[in-house]
Every structure is written in structure tokens, then in C-alpha cells.
């Protein structure tokens, strides 16, 4: 098997969705391919981390009862009309009550149920699309070892590299003396637009800081949260939106944010 095909099927193999012959082919390929084996191990580790640390939302109390009541109210029961003159001449079965289902009402009830479940799942606390994109981009950069397009801790190398590639100038500072080493920068695409991504090394953790223009002094997504086992911290400063993503401790993300904001204001 080619690596490209194996990489496409790794997730299905991890979820035990492949038949035995294909699962065996992937296992054989990984035994001879260090890159695919490493990718599989990373996927397995992420899956384990999500299961152990990911946020889960249970169904609200009483949901099952409300669903039953909704269905009962939407499925009218009717008995057939019988002629009194004829029922005495019929077999005893003619006197048995029997029900029929209004299938149009059933379809309506099912649609209502789907909408209800959709609204419940969309309540605050569910993962936002942007957060999912940021976490996926962070993990993808680690998985394929593509943290940077320009690898340097020199801000005078990293910052000019973005010129002409973006419609804004992202700040790029190195804080190695404070324990946050600038590794470099790259272009990325999240939220429907091109953004700057700066990679920092904090001990054994990588912190990706995504930057894009944002009008106003505040915006959705600010503050700290966790998604799929990763920590996110968002803030807005001088017309730019920042989102830091990492498995580093939240306090480390907050400290890096403070360093970036302080340095940006110092240079104004």
C-alpha cells in the first residue's frame, strides 16, 4: 500500500471500521514505515486524550419523557366506524377496538423531534466551529511536522516574511529569556480567511498563536476554554484577534498573552 492510501484509512482503522484484510494490510505497512507508524501513534494518543479529557454533554433530565409526550400528542389514535346494525352479525372480532396511525402526523412528529434534538445539541457549551478549526490546525501542524514556513527566532526574519502574503502585519516577538522561544511562523487558513500562525516552544510543549484582523476592541471567542483535550485562549489587541492553542497549562497561555500584549504596547 502507498503511504497516501494508508494515511487516508488510518482513522477508520483506529475506529475498527475496516475489514480484517485491509486492517492487516495497514498493520503490515506500518511495520515497515516509520512515518505512518508515527502518525498512527499520534492519532491513537489524541483519541485517548479526547476520551479522557474532552468535554461531554449529557442529555437534559426529562428529555426522554418529553420526547414520549411529544410523540403521543402527535400520533392520534382512531377507531373504525362500525354500523350498529351489522356488528351483531359479525364475529366477536368486529367488536375489538383497533388503532390506525396517521403517518402524516408521524412524519411531523419525527421532524419536530429532530428539531428539538438539534436545538438541545446547539445549546451553549457545544464546540464552536472556529475552535474546532483552530485545534485541528494546531494538531495537523504537529502531526505532519509543519510548524513553520519560516523557521527562525529572529523577529526581523519572521515578521517581514509575512509581507505580501497577508493583508496585515502580525507582531512576532521572541521571549526566550522568559521561557517562550519563537520557533517561526507560517501561513494558515481558518475561519474562512488566511491567518498568521506563530509557533512558540514552552518546555516540551508547542503553542500556536493564530492572528488575524478584527475590528473593535473585543470579539467572540475571547477568554479561556478547552476543546478536544487542548487549551485555547483568545484575546483582541490593537485591531487584531489572537488565539493561542496548546496542551500547555492555561497559565502558560495567559503568560504568553501578557508578554505579547506588553511588548506590542511598548513598541507603539
Please indicate, yes or no, whether the overall pTM of this predicted structure exceeds 0.85: no
* Long-range pairs, 112-116, Cβ under 8 A, ≥24: 112/70, 112/74, 113/67, 113/70, 113/71, 116/66, 116/67, 116/70
In whole angstroms, give the CA distance from residue 6 to residue 31: 12
Position 209 scores a pLDDT of 97
In whole angstroms, give the CA distance from residue 105 to residue 76: 8
Least confidently predicted of 166-175, 178-187, 218-227? 218-227
User: pLDDT tens digits, residue range 151-163?
Assistant: 999 999 999 999 9
Please give, one letter per residue, the 3-state secondary structure of 104-133.
Answer: HHHHHHHHHHHHHHHHHHCCECECCHHHHH
What DSSP state is assigned to residue 234? E
Q: Work out the average pLDDT over 153-180.
A: 94
Q: Please, which residues have CB within 8 angstroms of residue 244's CB and are 6 or more apart in sequence?
A: 207, 208, 209, 210, 232, 233, 234, 253, 256, 257
What DSSP state is assigned to residue 195? E
Amino acid at each position: 500500500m502507498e503511504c497516501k492510501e494508508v494515511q487516508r484509512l488510518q482513522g477508520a482503522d483506529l475506529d475498527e471500521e475496516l475489514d480484517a484484510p485491509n486492517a492487516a494490510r495497514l498493520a503490515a505497512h506500518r511495520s515497515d514505515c516509520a512515518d505512518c507508524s508515527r502518525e498512527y501513534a499520534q492519532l491513537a494518543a489524541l483519541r485517548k486524550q479526547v476520551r479522557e479529557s474532552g468535554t461531554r454533554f449529557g442529555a437534559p433530565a426529562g428529555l426522554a419523557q418529553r420526547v414520549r409526550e411529544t410523540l403521543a400528542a402527535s400520533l392520534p389514535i382512531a377507531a373504525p366506524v362500525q354500523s350498529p346494525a351489522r356488528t351483531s352479525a359479525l364475529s366477536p372480532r368486529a367488536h375489538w377496538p383497533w388503532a390506525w396511525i396517521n403517518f402524516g402526523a408521524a412524519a411531523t412528529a419525527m421532524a419536530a423531534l429532530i428539531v428539538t434534538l438539534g436545538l438541545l445539541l446547539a445549546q451553549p457549551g457545544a464546540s464552536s466551529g472556529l475552535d474546532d478549526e483552530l485545534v485541528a490546525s494546531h494538531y495537523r501542524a504537529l502531526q505532519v511536522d509543519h510548524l513553520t514556513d519560516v523557521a527562525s527566532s529572529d523577529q526581523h526574519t519572521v515578521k517581514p516574511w509575512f509581507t505580501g502574503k497577508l493583508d496585515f502585519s502580525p507582531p512576532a516577538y521572541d521571549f526566550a529569556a522568559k521561557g517562550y522561544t519563537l520557533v517561526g511562523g507560517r501561513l494558515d487558513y481558518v475561519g474562512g480567511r488566511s491567518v498568521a500562525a506563530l509557533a512558540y516552544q514552552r518546555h516540551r510543549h508547542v503553542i500556536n498563536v493564530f492572528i488575524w484582523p478584527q475590528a473593535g476592541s473585543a470579539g467572540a471567542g475571547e477568554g479561556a476554554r478547552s476543546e478536544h483535550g487542548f487549551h485555547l485562549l483568545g484575546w483582541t489587541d490593537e485591531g487584531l484577534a489572537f488565539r493561542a492553542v496548546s496542551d500547555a497549562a492555561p497559565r502558560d497561555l495567559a503568560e504568553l498573552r501578557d508578554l505579547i500584549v506588553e511588548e506590542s504596547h511598548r513598541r507603539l
